[in-house]
Structure 1
C-alpha cells in the first residue's frame, strides 16, 4: 500500500513577489518620474547659477578694476585733438591698456596737478596700472612739447596769438620776425608772413625759439607747394595768393570750381568783370576786419591794396593760411564757364555759380533772403 502524497503549501513553479519583474507600464512610469526630477534639479541649478552671476556682476565680485605694474609688450596709443579724458579712458580700456576707464580717470585726477593730456602718439604697454598710464600720457619724466593747433584760413595775427599762447614765447618776438619775411626764404614782394604759416597741429620742443617755429611752418608751406608741383618762388607766391582767396571764399567741396571762376576772371578775354576778382574777403582783409558787408565807398577805395573790386588782378599777397586742398585747387582749377559765385546758405555752405551778372543777381537775392531769415548771421 503506497503512502498518501504530502500536500505542498508552496508551488515550486510560482515565483515570489521579490523575484517577480515589474510590468512595462510600471517601468515607463518610473522612467518618466526620473526624467522630470532630473529636469527640475537642472532648472534649479541654472536659476541659482544665474542669480549668483547677476549678483557677482552687480557687486563687481571678482572683476579686475586695475592692472598691477607697468604693463607688458608695446603699443602706440594716439590721442586725437579735442579728445577729453573720458574719451581717452574709454579708448585705453578698449585697447586693454588699462582695465577700467573709471579707474584711469581717478588716477588721472590724482596725477594731473593742473596738467592736461596733449594730442599725439604715445608709446605705451598693454595691461598697465591706471597710475602708470596716467603718468605716461602726462609725459611725466619724459620730454614734453608745446602743442599748437593752427586752423586753415587764419590770418597772420590770429596765428601769432596761437603761437604765443601755446609756446609761452612773447608775441613781440614773432611780430619782429614777421617784419622781415625774407629771412625765411619768402619773396621780397611779400609784405608779411601771411600765407606761409601753414595750418596744422604742431608739437614744438620745449626749447624751441620763435625763429625755429616760424621756419618750420614756412617749410611746411613750401613742402605743400612742391607736393602740388610748384617750385618757383614767384609762382609759389602767386598760387598761395589764389589759394588763400579760394580758402576764404568757398567750402572745400567748391574749392576747384571757385578757383576755376577766379582763373576766368584773371583771363585776358574776361569781358564780364574786366579783370576784377571782386572778392569781399580780400577787401575786408585790407580793412583788417572780418565781415560779409561792404559799403560802396569801401568797394571803390583804391587805397586798399587788397581791394579786388577797384584794382584788377590779384591783391598784393595772400589773405590767410591756405590748406593743402586749397593749394591743390589753385594749381588745378576746375574747367568751368563761371565768373560768379555766391554762398546762398552760410550754415550749409551751399554755393551757386553763374556765367552772367543777371543770373548772379538772382542768387544774390536768394542770399539776402536767407540773411533776412537768419538775423545777425550775415554781419
Structure 2
C-alpha cells in the first residue's frame, strides 16, 4: 500500500502571525515538502491543478519535472489534472514527457475541478462538464495506446493520422486515477477502463464515499477487470498532529475557523466526527485511518494533506516528520495484516510493465 502527501497549493494567511506567503514562497515550499516527503519515507507526492487565486499550481508538469530532478524514489502524481478544460492531446504529451524525465515515477489523477469560472477561461461550458470528462478521457486513453490516431468528437477539432510525442515510456502509459467527490458517472468511467478511483473525501461524510466506492467496485467487476475487491481505490484525508491531542486542537483551531474551505460551518469537532479530518495525537491519526478499511475495503493509496489553510512551512515539515517516524510505519504494518493475497498493490510503472510483458508472453505461448 502506498502512503503519500497531496497539496492543493493554496496561498492562505497564517492566522497566528497575520502573514500571507508570497506566491514565490508557496511554490518553493511545495518543492521542499515534496523533497521532505521522500526523505521521511513517503511513497507519493501529488499536487493539484488550479488556475485561480488563491492557488498557485497552474502547471503541475512544470513543478513535478523540477521535483523529479531532485528526488530518486517517490512517485509524482497530480491531485487533479483537469480533464475538462485541458486539451487531451496536451495532457498526453505533457505527462508522457514527464514520465520519461522521471524514469516512470509518474501517474495522474483526472478530475473536473471545483471552480466554475475556470470553464469559460478555457473556452468550455461547465454544463457540459461530465460529457467533456468522458469524451476527453476517451481520446487521451486512445492517444497513449495507439501510435496513429484518427478522431472526431464534439469538443475539439478532428485528428487525422496523428501521433502524440513522445510515446509513453516502454510503451506503458502512466496509471490513471479518476478523482471524484460527487459524481457516480466518474466512478463508472474509472470502472469501465479498469483504472483507479480516488475518493478525495476531505469535505464530505464518509457514507457518501462508501456509496461511490461501492459503485466503482461493482462496476469494475461488471466490466471484467477482476473481483470488486481487486478494484484499485485511493483515499484522501487531512491531518494535524501534536504529541498531545489537546495541543493539536488548540493550535489547529484558528486555521480551521478561518479556512475558506472549512471555516464558517460545522465546528472543528463536528467536522472531525463526519469527515476524515483528524486533529490530535499520532495514535489518533493511526486509529482513524485504520477505520477507512472498514468503510471502503482494502485499498491501495492513502494520501494526507498537511500543508493547507495557512499552516506555515516549518509546521508542515514537523507534520511530515511525525508521519514518517510515528504514523506511516504503523499503518504499513497494520494494513498489511490480513490483507487478502488476491488484492493487488498500488500500480507502478514497474508493475504495469511486468503485467504487460507477462500478458504478451502468455499470448505468444498460446499462439
TM-score normalised by L of structure 2: 0.24
Radius of gyration: which is bigger? Answer: 1
The structure richer in strand per residue is 2
Q: Which is bigger in relative contact order (C-alpha 8 A, separation at least 6)?
A: 2
